[in-house]
Chain A
Amino acid sequence: MASLMKVINVSKIYDLGSEVITALNNVNIEIYKGEFISIIGKSGSGKSTLMHILGLLDTPTSGEIILNGQNTKGMKEKELAKIRNKEIGFVFQSFNLLQRTTTLDNVMLPLKYSDIPSYMWRKKGLDMLKMMGLENRLHNKSNELSGGQKQRVAIARALINDPSIILADEPTGNLDSKTGDEIIELFSDLHKQGRTVVIVTHNEEIADLAQRKIIIKDGEVIEQ
């Protein structure tokens, strides 16, 4: 299998002056194209920190991230932003939709920071929302949607630039278990379509659904 992302000796240390917090300690992970990975660990173990580093939103204190054979170390903010826009699809626990903005506009948001010509935005947005079964909610504002619907909009937004990897940080954390299961089903479908998916979860059952389970404890990977 082709390698998509390599995490080499990554540490993240917060020096707060009074104390030093090691959020990640010498983490090594390789992610292959088309994999479905779950990351599980206790609260405060460093899962979100790892996700942010995988998504190039945060930079490690030491170590390197290789994406598609390209070392991202030392890249300029502009380059990183561009890679995030094209290659990374973020899904958050708290949805993070723009308030009082329509479903369609929310989904199209990443396109506005891309090179994709604006005449294609609408069609792409419609296609994504159709795929998520939200074609009858196009013009609803985000506050008019249920939790499950919001997360679908967020997933549509994550997919719209056809990224190489989807990073979901506790995507079911704010949902009831039935709706959560539906969302996990959706990620599993995306994996079956050949996409690379990484999910952070507290839930063992969900973690077991993935192909590979990474267990993280006190900033260290103890099993993968």
Chain B
Amino acid sequence: MRTSEIFRSSVVALSLNKIRTFLTMLGVIIGVFAVVALVSVVKGFENYITDQFNSLGSNLIWVMPGMVSFEQGGGEPSFANNKLDSKHVELIERYASDIYSEISSVVRVPKTIKYKTKTYTATLTGGTERMYEILNVQLDLGRFFSKAEVDSKARVLILGSLVTEELFPTKNPIGEKVKIDGISFTVIGTAKPWGPNFDDRVFIPDTTIKSSLGVDRYTGIIVRVKDDEDMEDASRKIKLAVLRDLKEDDFTVMSQKDILSSVNSILNVLSVGLAAIAGISLFVGGIGIMNIMLVSVTERTREIGLRKALGATSKDILIQFLTESILIGFLGGALGLILAWIGTLIASSWIRAEIPWWSVLLGFGFSVVVGVVFGTYPAMSASKKDPIESLRYE
């Protein structure tokens, strides 16, 4: 039998039982949708994180207290035994002076900010005036704090866009007084919307945080490495500088690349895990195909006998039934992909989700393979049927 004819007769056979065919496909549709959509959402997270880092520039190095391991446990690093303070900024300034263009300590503490009756819990971010350059802060109104203000421990601060929105929905905040722990601070600037991780921040001189709010340990030290310096080299120099005071276990030096690759490896494990779980639903879909194909073979026993009487070989019958199950897998895969594509379009209004080509190939490939694997047994049993018994079958 010709390929086009086999294909045509399979389409006809499947369309004779449209609802049944659709229900059989459903397992594959859901399976492929789940695989591709989950992968695309994880990809969206990856993009989100990469974007966040890229907006900071790629030549940043963080010195963080304690052992930071994103691979084990993940989440926020623990600061239980934080020994990082101004001494270590000075050590880097002294012993690694040739490799950096900017350096700033960072203190991050959640604090509730009050303006009249309104309150907002922001991430207070303390640093020197150079944080402006290092983090590449984009100002909306006003200005960043100056060296003089850092030195004089001035009670000034810059609000992130979310904080501004909450506390000053209609009013120009510049020059207004807000309260933290009962102490008054003057708003001197506001930042433009930047990203979820930054918009709830409030920037403040680290000296002020220390003197007015009593926070004296650093959450980290950020170093912007000179453009022509080698990042690995710079990491090593910074590490050596800090090692003059602290032990190896007391701190961690990480570059952008280190952090990104740790995060990406977590996400990869995540997406493989999710895809595997979704793959199980494809397997279940395959069992559905096998089940229905077996029913179909039994129902069409006489047809099989007739076709053989009219000149069909066992191979013709095998191919005919196999084509039907592959077609179910193929169409199910296609519909699943279309659904995943629509899902990704919808999701992309929140997160830069995208469908990587390999997941399309994987989803589609799997659905066709499922059609072949689970269609083979029914097709074999059809092809082996004895024509005479089949013709006698009631």
Say yes or no: A57-B1 contact (C-beta < 8 A), given A82-B311, A114-B311, A157-B310: no
Q: Can you name the residue of chain B whose Cβ is closest to the Cβ of A49?
A: B388
- Residues of B close to A109: CB separation below 8 A: 307, 310
Known A85-B310, A96-B306, A113-B310; 18 more pairs at CB < 8 Å: A57-B308, A57-B309, A58-B388, A77-B314, A78-B313, A81-B313, A81-B316, A82-B311, A84-B308, A84-B310, A84-B311, A85-B311, A92-B391, A96-B302, A99-B303, A112-B1, A113-B311, A118-B5
Q: Can you name the residue of chain A whose Cβ is closest to the Cβ of B15?
A: A100
| Binding site secondary structure of chain B | helix
Residue among B305, B306, B388 with the highest chain A CB neighbour number at 10 A: B306
Which A24-62 residues have a C-beta within 8 angstroms of B?
A: 52, 55, 57-58
User: What total of chain A residues lie within 8 Å of the partner, measured CB to CB?
Assistant: 26
Please state if A96 and B311 are interface contacts (CB–CB under 8 Å).
no
In-complex Cβ contact of A86 among B2, B311, B312, B316 (8 A): B311
Give the distance to chain B from A175, nearest Cβ to Cβ, in Å: 19
Which A68-114 residues have a C-beta within 8 angstroms of B?
A: 77-78, 81-82, 84-86, 90, 92, 96, 98-101, 109-110, 112-114
9 closest A-B pairs by beta carbon, nearest first, are A85-B311, A113-B311, A81-B313, A110-B310, A96-B306, A84-B311, A90-B309, A81-B311, A78-B313
CA distance A82 to B315 in the complex (A): 13
A interface with B by C-beta (< 8 Å): 52, 55, 57-58, 77-78, 81-82, 84-86, 90, 92, 96, 98-101, 109-110, 112-114, 118, 157, 161
CA distance A20 to B63 in the complex (A): 91
Please state if A110 and B388 are interface contacts (CB–CB under 8 Å).
no
Contact-residue bracket for chain B: 20 to 34
> B16: CB under 8 A from chain A?
yes
B interface with A by C-beta (< 8 Å): 1-2, 4-5, 9, 12, 16, 302-303, 305-316, 387-388, 391
CA distance A112 to B308 in the complex (A): 12
- Residues of B close to A77: CB separation below 8 A: 313-314
Please state if B2 and A118 are interface contacts (CB–CB under 8 Å).
yes
- Residues of B close to A113: CB separation below 8 A: 1, 307, 310-312, 316
Say yes or no: A84-B307 contact (C-beta < 8 A), given A57-B388, A112-B1: no
- Residues of A close to B313: CB separation below 8 A: 77-78, 81
CA distance A78 to B308 in the complex (A): 10
Please state if B1 and A98 are interface contacts (CB–CB under 8 Å).
no
Q: List 27 A-B contacts (CB under 8 A).
A: A55-B309, A57-B309, A57-B387, A57-B388, A78-B313, A78-B315, A81-B308, A81-B313, A81-B316, A84-B310, A84-B311, A85-B310, A90-B310, A96-B302, A96-B306, A109-B307, A110-B310, A110-B311, A112-B2, A112-B5, A113-B307, A113-B311, A113-B316, A114-B311, A118-B2, A157-B310, A161-B311
Q: Can you name the residue of chain B whose Cβ is closest to the Cβ of A100?
A: B16
